[in-house]
Amino acid sequence: MGQAVAAYLHFLSIFMLFALLVLEHRLFKLPLDLERARSLVRIDIAYGLAAGVVLLTGLARVVWYGKGLDYYLHNSMFHAKMGLFVLIALLSGFPTFVFLNWRNALKAGQVPEVSPGKARAVIMVIRLELLLALLLPLFAVLMARGHGVMGS
């Protein structure tokens, strides 16, 4: 039962992560208004929380409910998937940094100022995150089918 719950929570958090990123992409456009800016900050926080749940449930699956830690540590698809997850997390730091810099303006009830160049950069990073996130299930499927096992 624990294995099913861990898998379900893992998949649910992955769907949530992707949905929040799509929503962030849809809402981030110039000119900003106050409500959309506030929503983007909240969505980005939820995105970070969802990423944490993905990581924790994935760790639970690796350690307690999967094929055994040794299998994952000796599988190149697992390493590729984790590397990609870290890359996406690092990329997500840029939009998060931009949104966190809006705090003072939002507290004052003002619309944050974003240059067109920075807005384009944020959109491109979010698009890159979405593209890379589409590769994660591919690595997971390949890993589950036994591809990437090292030393055999």
Over the stretch 11-20, which tens digit does the pLDDT of each residue have? 999 999 999 9
For 36-77, what is each residue's pLDDT tens digit? 999 999 999 999 999 999 999 999 988 998 788 888 899 999
What average pLDDT is seen over the chain?
94
Q: Please confirm whether the linkage preceding 112 is cis (ω < 30° from 0).
A: no
Q: Are 89 and 26 in contact (CB under 8 A)?
A: no
